[in-house]
Structure 1
């Protein structure tokens, strides 16, 4: 329940910021009114510099209301302009990255909240003596000063956010964070799954709706199943698309599991309409790949940005290659053993580089970046994962070789090829042999 609530909050952070500052402005107006009406004590302790006659305060609030509404409109136009830059220069998939920044909707919430405060105070102070001293105007001025300082900070955030290097770094950080969360499962001890589930009856957990598999709650899953012990095989990694009624997990247990329990267990799987880069590292990697593809397209022709994206992919794939992927991990909880499917290094390499190879194989600088990235991944990988990388490198080499018929280009491609790490050779200053 709490995970579902947190997921809802995470998806609606931009609008919650607006509601937050709207409520804050209403509470601020209420507190100011109670002080100005002398219902709450404390007015006598406020310095005279923060008090003004009601007539002057009304003039201040009227001016501020118009100014704050104007800047709210300007801030919204600025956000739409930045979204247009993201859409036209990078990829539509990163629009949510900017919208989920706390500064994006906070600036709109601040100025719209200030407008609500000014209008509220003007309405409730309309029948008072024009010469009475109030603090409504001073509070409005202080609020506006804070909002203006935050707007300057927002401008700085925008100027930083539209820089390609910062966008790529932010996406890479999200991907590495998601990979780190997935790697925690691989600390569990592997299990001989075929032997453990042999001769056990099999039951299916089906997707309750169509969407992307965001994550699931192991505790809720186990609580939905009958007491006892058994095995649950989760068939899809997070981020995969599921259709309604598609089998997303298999349950093995000695006792018969009723259909209502299986339907309740399906509620432990969170299926969303959109992918989430904070939970699904595949989505973050797709963002990097799409930025690189657009950069090497003839219309943009910015291979250096593509090379930067490809080099950042090494950080994410290198983290995956450090994991022992021979056997999927299992976790035991309240007698039930859950098996996850997150990392498949061969699939990750093909999914990440196949489009880059297809569209960039004629550009030697792009191919050099791909070979350098594979070399970094290879050097960081566990010994058991290196043959997978070497086999994929051979595929990349053949694809690049087919796009270049000149001997000079082919010679350069041969020099780019993956090399086995050789400590003794490096110490002697020799070159390690290339893979065949």
Structure 2
């Protein structure tokens, strides 16, 4: 079991308010463009002050912009007007293209688009240039606009606006090229795969053997169910707050839901075991504390949810197998990504996360996504919709063989054998695949479970 030996006091701990805020900001589209707007305002107010300092002498940038105040106002107005129009049209068309793409594959890919750094930086470049041009425009003075007929042309500021505009044009061209790649299903699968791999590396640690007594609380008597006070997808558990509440109540709390599961108000979400003989915990206070420590959201997020990336890959596979799409090649590609993710899961521990208090007593147990559930997620639906698709059924058999090789000794042999039998039966019932080939599928999977991968003959 993965063990948290002592609960730190900072909010940077897993599930703390600060880490939740950082995760939400990292997954949103607006933070980098908002920083771009702030930078534009700072530059748009600072650089004209430097121009004002040079106004009493020969301006060093006269060669870059030699026009008067009217020309400066026209240039800045043209930059601001064109960029805000380009920004709106570009991202409107982008959203339409992504909606069409998500309807063909899965709507959850829009979440991946919003976290794409190229998209965020392009939007930041465009709104930065627009805001900067608008901010500098207010400082340009013509002779007729001032009482002392002293015109002011911020040549340095206008030169910077021109350079930012050139950068925006370049960013727009690069963005359109990036978008054409982003909308390809192969790129979407790669991005989802990378996202899932990062979550896996972040969340699954090697066991340290310090939690062997984590299940001792189950012998302390009958558990008391704790019901949820609100509904949503469980995205984060504030472990520090949950441990503190369990310590105060003198209990061990074991969650009945995993990160990524749906929580329904009024249904049991955890169980509590009292460590005091004959003790009875205050369930109302514990339920309130758990409700405060749970971060429930209207959708699943990839920050802590190990199964979410695999869910997206399976969604793409199933959509590709639908009669309206009928794209077995995409389904085969998706199953290859699913096989790779399953193999990574098989090589890592799937033990509960155990959190202790300052006295090293177990207080909170968070259940994991176990390997059989992940295999079921990857195979069950594609098998259901692969009827009449020999290429997809062959790839499913190959996935099970690859998984069997990497999951040796993980107590999933019976489940893998049942699935390969089901794949073989579906192939015989709905395709022209020969029975000898399906027998070979069964044999190869069983050999892989036994640690044997014979060389292909012929």
* TM, length-normalised to structure 2: 0.82
Verify the 8 A CA contact 2:232 2:264 in the aligned structure 1. yes
Q: Which residue pairs with 1:377 in the alignment?
A: 403
**Residue range with higher mean Cα deviation, 120-129 or 231-240:** 120-129
Verify the 8 A CA contact 1:296 1:306 in the aligned structure 2. yes
Listed as ranges, the gaps of 5+ residues in structure 2 are 1-16
CA displacement 1:206-252 (0-9 Å, x = unmatched): 43421001121222222334459652212111110001233322232
Residues in 1 aligned to 2:260 and 2:291: alpha-carbon distance in whole angstroms: 16
**Is the alpha carbon distance of 1:401 and 1:143 closer, same or farther for their aligned partners in structure 2, counting shifts above 3 Å?**
closer
Please list, as runs of the form range in 1=range in 2, the aligned pairs for 1:36-435 lying within 5 A after superposition: 36-38=51-53, 46-50=60-64, 52=66, 53-126=68-141, 127=145, 129-130=150-151, 132=153, 134-184=155-205, 186-191=207-212, 195-200=216-221, 202-227=223-248, 230-254=251-275, 257-258=281-282, 259-260=284-285, 262-325=287-350, 328=352, 330-334=354-358, 335-337=360-362, 338-397=364-423, 399-401=425-427, 403-404=429-430, 409-417=434-442, 418-421=445-448, 426=454
Residues in 1 aligned to 2:26 and 2:32: alpha-carbon distance in whole angstroms: 11
1:35 aligns with 2:59: no
**Residue range with higher mean Cα deviation, 417-426 or 141-150:** 417-426
**Residue range with higher mean Cα deviation, 182-191 or 303-312:** 182-191
Verify the 8 A CA contact 2:72 2:153 in the aligned structure 1. no
Residues in 1 aligned to 2:288 and 2:453: alpha-carbon distance in whole angstroms: 59
Q: Which residue pairs with 2:37 in the alignment?
A: 22
Listed as ranges, the gaps of 5+ residues in structure 1 are 432-436
Question: What is the Cα-based RMSD across aligned positions, in Å?
Answer: 3.1
Q: Which has the higher contact order (CA 8 A, sep 6+)?
A: 2
Matched residue of 1:14: which SS? Answer: coil
Cα displacement (A) at 1:152: 2.2
**Residue range with higher mean Cα deviation, 357-366 or 389-398:** 389-398
Cα displacement (A) at 1:139: 1.8
**Is the alpha carbon distance of 1:82 and 1:44 closer, same or farther for their aligned partners in structure 2, counting shifts above 3 Å?**
farther
CA displacement 1:347-384 (0-9 Å, x = unmatched): 22222211111110321111110010111111011313
- Number of paired residues? 425
Q: Which residue pairs with 1:434 in the alignment?
A: none
Residues in 1 aligned to 2:431 and 2:61: alpha-carbon distance in whole angstroms: 83
Cα displacement (A) at 1:188: 4.9
Verify the 8 A CA contact 1:55 1:131 in the aligned structure 2. no
User: Is the helix fraction higher in 1 or 2?
Assistant: 1
Residues in 2 aligned to 1:26 and 1:180: alpha-carbon distance in whole angstroms: 39
* TM, length-normalised to structure 1: 0.86
Q: Which residue pairs with 1:4 in the alignment?
A: 20
**Residue range with higher mean Cα deviation, 153-162 or 41-50:** 41-50
Cα displacement (A) at 1:192: 5.3
**Residue range with higher mean Cα deviation, 368-377 or 25-34:** 25-34
